[in-house]
Amino acid sequence: MELLLDTGNVAKIRNAMEYYPVSGVTTNPTILRKEGDVPFWDLIGEIKELIGPQRSLHVQTISSDADGIIREAGIIAERLGMDTYIKIPVDREGLKAIKELASEGFRITATAIYTELQGVLAAMAGASYLAVYYNRMENTSIDADDVIKNLRTCTNECGAKILGASYRNVSQVLSSFHSGAHAVTVNPDIIDKALYSPLVSGAVENFRDDWYSVHGEDSSLLDTL
């Protein structure tokens, strides 16, 4: 199982990496737009440097035709390295580009997946990750869990991983894992909010108070040495 961060915000990525088991970062033009009018290569380069070589970076192409996508993929790999995942939306042109690029050794994250057919074709074309748009599917009455479950058969054969994406809450994230997603990409705000619980903080406070009552106010376990 993998957790990726669906954000282009450097401060949020830095903070989330400190607290959570983060294995990568995904971006798209809409996510990057939220960071304002920052030069693309500056921002993406900063993210790349921050997450280091052990975490994966997924960068989306813009062109709508296969030739354009392939040219953009070449530039992304040249500037950021061949270990960068090229995010390509799965339509006919995208599939043509995925097939070509995968055969040349590029790493591909097929994205904008709403249907099983898109996922199956992208996996067969050589994509490493299939980004399934969970919330957007729910918005249009497509059963995202069903698509994830069905895609597992083909990913088991092709070796691609299902990357749940487009989340609004942790229920959607956890359902994706229950249905068989190998990875999820989530805005860290969603995790931060869901982790906050008065029940947990109340329990922690009680444990601390009981310790203080025996070992003294503000003492820690180290004070017993």
**Residues in the site for ligand E4P, rule: CB under 6 A?**
6, 26, 28, 30, 111, 131, 133, 135-136, 165-166, 185
The pair of three-digit structure tokens given for residue 59, joined into one six-digit string: 């960068």
Contact yes or no for 9/50 (Cβ under 8 A): no
Indicate the residue among 171 and 201 with the shorter CB distance to ligand E4P. 171
CB of 26 to ligand E4P, least distance (A): 4
Instruction: Between 8 and 126, name the residue whose CB sits nearer to ligand E4P.
Output: 8
Q: Active site residue: 87, 96, 99, 193, which one?
A: 87
Residue indicated by tokens 């939306």: 89
The least CB distance from residue 111 to ligand E4P, in Å, is 5
10/7 Cα distance (integer angstroms): 8
- The whole-angstrom separation of Cα 17 and Cα 9 is 12
Pick between residue 174 and residue 211 the one whose CB is nearest to ligand E4P. 174
Distance CA 7, CA 44 (A): 11
Q: How far is the CB of 30 from ligand E4P (least distance, A)?
A: 5
Q: What is the largest CA-CA distance in the chain?
A: 71
Q: Which is nearer to ligand E4P, 14 or 33 (CB)?
A: 33
Q: Nearest residue by C-beta to ligand E4P? A: 166
Q: Are 79 and 41 in contact (CB under 8 A)?
A: yes
Q: What is the DSSP letter of 219?
A: -
Q: Known catalytic residue: 87? A: yes
Q: How far is the CB of 157 from ligand E4P (least distance, A)?
A: 23
> Which residues are catalytically annotated?
87
